């Protein structure tokens, strides 16, 4: 757990101090708090959950999934220029060995061949191609690149079926990467 905390704090500072172009950390979504570890009596410093309109965790509650929201603006000269999006990052206690769950959230989900209308993103580095060497910044850059290279705004061909039948957690989807172009 300590290595995950150190890694997330390092990535949080990097995202605050040197964010990828068009991206900013939504400061309201992340704050430091002291919570009690459910596996012992000592308190530990950890990043607390984004509250997303939900109640704040009680002092003795443990947050096993950390949440960050990254605000994103479509890159100049692309189909998404000037559009504003939000990415939700959820980290498990196994981060960075386990990839974060990443999805678009909010009222404006980009219309893109690799983005489902529920916000799920079909991107291999979020699942089978994840490596602990990757970071929040590298995921953000990959998503910016994916959107920027898009030639036509359209949903994936199986969007309706997928949205009706998928798991709420996109990491539980067995993705089939069949299209490298947009």
Active site residue 122: yes
136-148 vs 2-17: helix axis angle to the nearest 10? 50
Are 87 and 101 in contact by the 8 Å Cβ rule? The answer is no
d(CA 8, CA 66): 9
Torsion of CA 112, 113, 117, 123, to 10 degrees: -100
For residues 109 and 15, what is the distance between their CA atoms, to the nearest angstrom? 22
Pairwise CA distance, residues 131 & 138, whole Å: 11
Catalytic residue among 49, 50, 122, 150: 122
Tell me the catalytic residues.
122
């Amino acid at each position: 757990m300590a290595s995950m905390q150190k890694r997330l704090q390092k990535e949080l500072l990097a995202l605050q101090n040197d964010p990828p172009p068009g991206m900013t950390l939504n400061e309201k979504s992340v704050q430091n708090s002291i919570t009690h570890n459910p596996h012992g009596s000592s308190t530990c410093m950890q990043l607390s959950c984004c509250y997303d309109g939900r109640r704040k965790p009680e002092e003795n509650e443990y947050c096993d999934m950390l949440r960050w929201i990254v605000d994103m603006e479509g890159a100049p000269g692309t189909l998404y220029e000037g559009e504003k999006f939000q990415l939700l990052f959820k980290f498990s206690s196994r981060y960075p060995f386990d990839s974060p769950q990443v999805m678009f959230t909010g009222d404006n989900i980009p219309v893109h061949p690799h983005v489902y209308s529920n916000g799920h993103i079909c991107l291999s580095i979020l699942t089978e191609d994840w490596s602990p060497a990757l970071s929040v910044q590298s995921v953000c850059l990959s998503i910016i690149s994916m959107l920027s290279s898009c030639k036509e705004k359209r949903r994936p061909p199986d969007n309706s079926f997928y949205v009706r039948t998928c798991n709420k957690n996109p990491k539980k989807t067995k993705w089939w990467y069949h299209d490298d172009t947009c």
